[in-house]
Chain A
Amino acid sequence: MARIVGGVTTSHIPAIGNAMTEKLENTPYWKRFFDGYEPVKQWLADVAPDVAIVVYNDHGLNFFLNNIPTFALGCADRYDNADEGWGLKTLASFEGDAQFSWHIAESLIEQHFDIATCQEMLVDHGFVVPMALMWRHLPKWPVKVIPLAVNTVQHPIPTARRCYALGKALRKAIDSYPEDLKVVIFGTGGMSHQLQGERAGMINVDYDLQTMESVIDDPEWLASQTTAEIIENAGTEGVEIIMWLVMRGALDDRVRVVHKHYHTPISNTGAGVLVLENAESAAERDGARKLVKAA
C-alpha cells in the first residue's frame, strides 16, 4: 500500500530559483535561508520517498485566464518546465506516475472533489523551485512527481477550508493505492507578501509564525479564515498559504515536527519551512530504530 512519509512546506518564489542558478547560497543575504533547508534535505535522504505530490499554483505558464481550474491534477508520465518569459533557467523534466495520478483523480472525484485532469502540464517556478531546493545536489530527480495545481491567482479562489478538506480526501486516495510507495507531500507558496498596490512590500512576521504554529497543532485556525481575512493578514499573493493546508489535511491530526524554519525578507516575502511526520508512524519508526540499535 502507498503511505505518506510526511509533509514539507516551502516557499516557491522565482528569486530563489535565480539565487540557485547564480549559486548565491552562501552570500550574506541568502545563507540563513538556504542553510535552513539542509535538515530538510537530510530528512528526505533518510525517508527516501518514491513519489512527491507537489501542491502549487501556476502563475501563467500552463494555465491562462481562458481556462482556470480551481484544482488540477497532472496525470502524465512526464512534466516539462518551460520558458516563463522572464529569464528563469529551464530545469530538467520530471518523471510522473500516471497510474497513481489517475487513481488519485478517481478517488477524489468519488469523494466529490471534482478535480481537473491534465495529460500535459507545463510546470512553472511554483513547482520547480521547491524541487530544486530539495534535490538540486543530485544528478537527477530521485522521485516521481504528481503536480497538484491550486488556483490562487484568479479570484474567486478556493477557501482555506476547502484546501484542508482536499488534503483529507487526498490522504484517502493515497491510502487506498495498492502499490507499495512512499509518498511525500509538498505544500508550497507563501508566506506573507503583496506585490502590488500601495500596501506592496507588507510582510507580517507575527501572522506568518502563528500560521506555521497553527499548521502544526491547530490547522482549524487557518482553515476557518476567509480569503479576505487571509489577504488582509498575509497579502494578496500571501493567500498561497492555503496550499499548505492541502499538505496538512493529508497528514494525521497529530503530527511530529521534524524541522521548523522561518526567514525574512526573501525578495518581498516571509519564507517558512516545515517538515512534519505523522506522530504515530514517527513513534513506530523511532521504536524500530531503537530495536535495531539494541540488537
Chain B
Amino acid sequence: MAWRKHDYDKIPGTYVFDGKTAHSAYGLNKLLFSFNSEANRAEFARDKAAYADKFGLTPEQKKALLEDDFLTLLRLGANIYYLAKLAVPRGFTVQDAGAAFQGITTEEFKAALMEKGRGLVEKLERRGGYWNG
C-alpha cells in the first residue's frame, strides 16, 4: 500500500485536499459536515466530547476540536469549507486562518491582501479592454 506522489506536493506552503488527507480525516470532516443542521449544532454545544466520540475522531483531532484550535484542525485534515461550519460562527474567518498559518496578525494579513490591488486600475488600462467605471 502506498500513497501516490503528486506534482502539487512540491508547491511550498500548500496542502491539497486529496485522498490521503481526506482518508485520514474522514470522521472529523463528517462531524463538521453535520453542522449544516441546527439540531446537530445544538447537540454539539450541549456536550462536545460526547458528540466527537460519535464520529470516531483521533485523540489529536478531538483535543483540537474541544479547544477550538482551528489551525490544528486544518493541519489534521479538516477541509477548509467544512471547518468554516464550525469556525466562522465562532468568529474565526479565512483571514484569521491565513494569518495564523503565516504567524502574522489578521490585520497584517488583510493589509497584505489590500496591497494586491495597488495600481490595479492603471494595470488594467495598460492591458486594455477592461471596464474601469
Contact = CB atoms under 8 A, between A and B. Distances in A.
Interface string B24-51: 0010011011011110010000000000
Contacts, number: 146
Contacts of B131: 36, 39, 259-261, 273
Interface string B110-127: 001110110010011001
Given A36-B131, A60-B85, A201 B18 contact: no
A257 B94 CA distance: 34
B120 A263 contact: yes
Interface string A188-218: 0000001111111101010001000100000
Contacts of A20: none
B36 A83 contact: yes
B80 A35 contact: no
B62 to A, nearest CB: 19
B41 A85 contact: yes
Interface stretch (A3-11, A108-116, A227-235): A227-235
A68 to B, nearest CB: 9
Interface string A9-38: 000000000000000000000001001100
B81 A153 contact: yes
Given A59-B81, A65-B29, A227-B8, A196 B120 contact: no
Interface string A120-142: 00000000000000000000000
Interface residues of A, number: 53
A196 B123 contact: no
A77 interface: no
B58 interface: no
A195 B80 contact: yes
Identify which of A32, A82, A156, A195 gathers the most chain B CB atoms within 10 Å of its CB: A195
A236 B16 contact: yes
Contacts of B101: 196-198, 200
Interface residues of B, number: 53
A155 B23 CA distance: 12
Interface string A228-259: 11011001110000000000000000000101
Interface in B83-119: 84-86, 88-89, 94-95, 97-98, 101-102, 109, 112-114, 116-117
Interface of A: 32, 35-36, 39, 59-61, 64-66, 82-87, 153-156, 194-201, 203, 205, 209, 213, 226-229, 231-232, 235-237, 257, 259-265, 267-268, 270, 273
25 contacts: A32-B133, A60-B33, A83-B38, A85-B85, A86-B89, A154-B22, A155-B16, A195-B97, A195-B98, A196-B80, A196-B98, A197-B14, A197-B15, A197-B101, A201-B102, A201-B109, A201-B112, A201-B113, A205-B123, A231-B14, A235-B14, A236-B14, A263-B117, A268-B94, A268-B98
